[in-house]
Amino acid sequence: MSTPVIRPRRLRTSPAMRRLVAETRIHPAQLILPLFVREDISEPAPIGAMPGVVQHTLDSLKGAVQDAAASGIGGVMLFGIPATRDAIGSGATDADGILNRATRVAAAEAGDALVVQTDLCLDEFTDHGHCGVLDARGRVDNDATLLRYRDMALAQADAGSQLLGLSGMMDGQVAAVREALDGHGLIDTAILAYAAKYSSAFYGPFREAVDSQLRGDRRTYQQDPANRIEGGREAALDEAEGADVLMVKPAMSYLDVLSDVAATAQVPVWAYQVSGEYAMIEAAAANGWIDRERAIRESVTGTLRAGAGAVLTYWALELSAWEKNA
């Protein structure tokens, strides 16, 4: 039997060799930490379905942002949880609403060390839990919702958000928000379009994180998990409307969509490693079924390998520390 001449295993012979030839690397600047801020609590509240993640107070948010800045990660994404809600999500556009107050706190603490980003969606603020305004028949009214998004954009930009995360999946949302920002001279406020956001079972723990009031489901505006081509179409529309960054969400089950979008987009493409992805790994690791650190690294590396330039992940600080100590 002839011996092999081509031996790919030569490049796997040692940790140093494997590190040297690695095609994909995790850098702290590629990581974005989602943070939840709740109005009606006096101390951080643990989220049961997401071990290690809490709902912050405004005071504890300061420390969380300081830690994020010191870690070298790229940014934080803020979600607000109000004490009261109504049909149109009034708290989302109130300058003294929890998210806008939190944004001012985060911007002051972050300085130039982080990009402060905000979730621009009504679901946390409405008493029905949908991402938009409902019509007389109880359906999400796309165009009436765009008017609310425009006002939200102005409020968030005024509070100090540098990047508005449009996550509602309304048709025309990027164009509507871009027009509102530019019309008020806010030409430097950037838009992160959740361009391909799927109606996923993996959002489950997030419902607890934001105390969701959702009745029904979001399948009339979030995408069907069966559709790949549609994800690319949505991303192309958002880019044409002026999105500065495109998002695919969730990450794990949609790496094909992420790869498709990254291959054609002319703007940065990110992915969100959502609450269910986090919870699954934490639960399996807690039971001793998987190696926690290896699974976390592998899940984020796979997302970057598929084409993401950055990843929103609840492990951002841990990953940053691991990479610095590697």
CA–CA separation, 49 vs 208, rounded Å?
Answer: 7
Supply the Cα-derived Rg of the chain in whole angstroms: 20
Q: Strands 45-46 and 54-56: what pairing? A: antiparallel
| CA of residue 153 relative to chain centroid, distance | 17
User: Is 249 a catalytic site residue?
Assistant: yes
Q: Which among 38, 178, 218, 249 is annotated as catalytic?
A: 249
Q: Is 122 exposed, middle or buried (0-12, 13-18, 19+ CB in 10 A)?
A: buried
CA–CA separation, 78 vs 190, rounded Å?
Answer: 15
With beta carbons less than 8 A apart as the criterion, state whether 98 and 81 touch: yes
Task: Decide: helix, strand or coil at residue 11.
Answer: helix
The token duo for 202 is: 């993996």
User: Is 324 a catalytic site residue?
Assistant: no
CA–CA separation, 61 vs 39, rounded Å?
Answer: 12
- Integer angstrom CA distances of residue 85 from 92, 125, 165: 9, 5, 21
Q: Which among 197, 232, 245, 277 is annotated as catalytic?
A: 197
> E-assigned strands of the chain?
31-38, 45-46, 54-56, 75-81, 115-120, 163-166, 190-197, 245-249, 269-272, 310-312
Buried b (16+ CB within 10 A) or exposed e, 155-194: bbbebbbbbbbbbbbbebbbbbbbbbbeeeeeeebbbbbb
CA angle 69, 73, 76 (to 5 degrees): 75
Q: Tell me which residue of 147, 149, 190 sits closest to 168, measured CA to CA.
A: 149
User: What are the residues whose beta carbons fall under 8 Å from the beta carbon of 42, sequence distance 6 or more?
Assistant: 57
Catalytic residue numbers, as ranges: 197, 249
